[in-house]
Amino acid sequence: INLSHNELQLLPSTFVQLTQLSELQFENNQVGKFPVNTFLKISQLTVVNGSRNRLTEIPPEIRHLRQLTKLDLGHNLIKILPSEIGDLERLKRL
């Protein structure tokens, strides 16, 4: 799903119902945080691109994205990477 360049401040909570979603693109918006339990519900993601937003943290639930190969959250307000990033064995690009 591509939600890029839409001036979104929040990710739509309904997209987490797409349990087989493999790519989440929401770069160049104004998103400040991920919806609660996002990564528990869409755990099949292989690509997450949320660069150029206003994210301040990566939730620890990211560890459930066992298929994730690319994570791009550059140009946000994130200061600390959670240790759970280390659980993502397939991650090739951070």
Q: Are 57 and 80 spatial neighbours (Cβ–Cβ below 8 Å)?
A: yes
Read off the DSSP letter of residue 42: -
Q: Is the pTM of this model over 0.85?
A: yes
Nearest C-alpha neighbor of 68 from the set 84, 50, 88, 82: 88
Residue 76 and residue 90: Cα distance in Å, rounded?
A: 23
Residue 70 and residue 57: Cα distance in Å, rounded?
A: 17
Average pLDDT, the chain: 93
pLDDT, average across residues 68-86:
96
**Is residue 9 scored above 90 in pLDDT?**
yes
| Beta pairing, strands 70-72 & 47-49 | parallel
